[in-house]
Copies of this chain bind each other. A is one copy, B any other.
Amino acid sequence: MAVCCSELVAYLKTVDRRILEYILSSDVAKGLEPADIKEGVLSYVQRPGKRMRPGLLLMACGSVGGEEREAMAVPAAAGVELFHTWTLVHDDVIDNDGVRRGQPTVHEAMTQKAKAAFGFDDALATEYGRDIAILTGDVQHGWSVTCFLDCALRMGADPLVILQVVKYLQSYVVPELVRGEVLDVQSGMKKGTDVSDIDEDKIIHMLRLKTGVLYEFAAMAGALIGKNTTELDDPQVQALRLFASNCGAAFQLQDDVLGVVGNEKTLGKPVGSDIREGKMTVVVCHALRHANENEKARILSVLGNRAASPDAIAQVTALLEELGGVERCRALARGYIDEALPYLDDIEESGYRRLLVQWAEFMINRES
CB within 8 Å of B: which residues of A?
A: 27-28, 31-34, 36-37, 86, 90, 93-94, 96, 114, 118, 120, 124, 127-128, 130-132, 134-135, 137-139, 141-143, 145-146, 149-150, 152-153, 159-160, 162-164, 166-167, 169-171, 173-175, 178-179, 181-183, 185-186, 189-190
Contacts and interface: CB of A to CB of B under 8 A. Distances in A.
A124 B189 contact: yes
Nearest to A140: B174
Contact of A163 (B36, B159, B169): B159
Contacts of A135: 90, 94, 178, 181-182
Which secondary structure characterizes the binding site on chain A?
helix
B143 A37 contact: no
A34 B149 CA distance: 30
Contact of A28 (B96, B175, B182, B186): B175
22 contacts: A28-B171, A34-B183, A37-B178, A90-B134, A94-B131, A114-B189, A118-B189, A127-B189, A132-B182, A134-B134, A137-B138, A138-B141, A138-B174, A141-B141, A141-B142, A142-B169, A142-B171, A143-B170, A145-B145, A145-B170, A146-B166, A159-B160
A169 to B, nearest CB: 7
A363 to B, nearest CB: 27
A128 B159 contact: no
A101 B241 CA distance: 43
A134 B171 CA distance: 17
B31 A185 contact: no
Contact of A185 (B128, B169, B186): B128
Contacts of A27: 171
A159 B159 CA distance: 6
B170 A164 contact: no
Nearest to A184: B131
A6 to B, nearest CB: 37
Nearest to A28: B171
A131 B152 CA distance: 35
Nearest to A128: B189
A182 B136 CA distance: 10
B178 A138 contact: yes
A182 to B, nearest CB: 6
Contact of A34 (B137, B179, B190): B179
